[in-house]
């Protein structure tokens, strides 16, 4: 089966499904990316720092350490400047979701790593911030696209069946993480 076949089926589910249950079920994010050949790429920008990243981070079955290091810096806690290792599975989920959405627009990353101090500050301002957020261990990212709706992004991330997916319609973003498979949001 070629990626074009998977992509057409996946994108039909992402755009045409009216419920999450109608979205395509992929084995996981890695299955979606396998159809992409032996190259994985992520494109993101940060409205907070003005930085952008467009990098191939996987080639021929191996993560590229220098590319992952660049991603770690890009996804740092911009409030404190703290950098930690982002779990590559989180990047895989974002890359697979992006691929299913068939857009050249980079993700706008709203939040990658969060230090415990930043998480506590955000938690004091919003009930939607988890006490033990996976952002604090480099396993989560909050993403937005201008060209796709929150529902479309949510369905694409859910189709990967590789972690948690949260839908934040009022704030116009989707949370993706490499924790247990689960969903939430409205």
pTM: 0.79
Sheet holding 52-59, edge to edge: 62-63, 52-59, 39-45, 107-111, 140-144, 173-177, 164-168, 182-185
Per-residue pLDDT of 132-153, as tens digits, reads: 899 999 999 999 999 999 999 9
What domain range is 84 assigned to? 3-185
Reported confidence tier of residue 130, pLDDT bands at 50, 70, 90: confident
Asked if residue 28 has pLDDT above 80, the reply is no
8 Å CB contact between 127 and 58: no
What is residue 30's predicted lDDT score, i.e. its pLDDT?
Answer: 53
The structural domain count of the chain equals 1
Average pLDDT, integer, range 95-100:
95
Q: What is the CATH number of the domain that holds 59?
A: 3.30.1380.10
pLDDT score of 49 more than 80? yes
More confident residue, 79 or 128: 79
């Amino acid at each position: 089966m070629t990626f074009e076949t998977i992509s057409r089926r996946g994108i039909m589910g992402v755009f045409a499904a009216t419920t999450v249950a109608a979205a395509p079920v992929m084995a996981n994010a890695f299955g979606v990316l396998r159809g992409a050949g032996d190259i994985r790429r992520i494109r993101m920008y940060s409205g907070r720092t003005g930085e952008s990243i467009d990098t191939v981070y996987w080639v021929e079955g191996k993560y590229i350490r220098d590319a992952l290091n660049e991603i770690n810096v890009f996804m740092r806690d911009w409030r404190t400047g703290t950098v930690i290792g982002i779990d590559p599975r989180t990047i895989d989920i974002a890359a697979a979701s992006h691929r299913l959405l068939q857009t050249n627009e980079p993700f706008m990353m709203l939040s990658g790593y969060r230090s415990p101090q930043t998480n506590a500050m955000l938690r004091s301002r919003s009930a939607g911030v988890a006490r033990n957020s996976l952002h604090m261990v480099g396993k989560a990212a909050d993403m937005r696209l201008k060209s796709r709706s929150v529902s479309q992004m949510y369905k694409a991330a859910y189709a990967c069946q590789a972690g948690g997916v949260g839908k934040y319609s009022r704030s116009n973003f989707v949370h993706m993480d490499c924790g247990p498979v689960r969903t939430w949001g409205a």
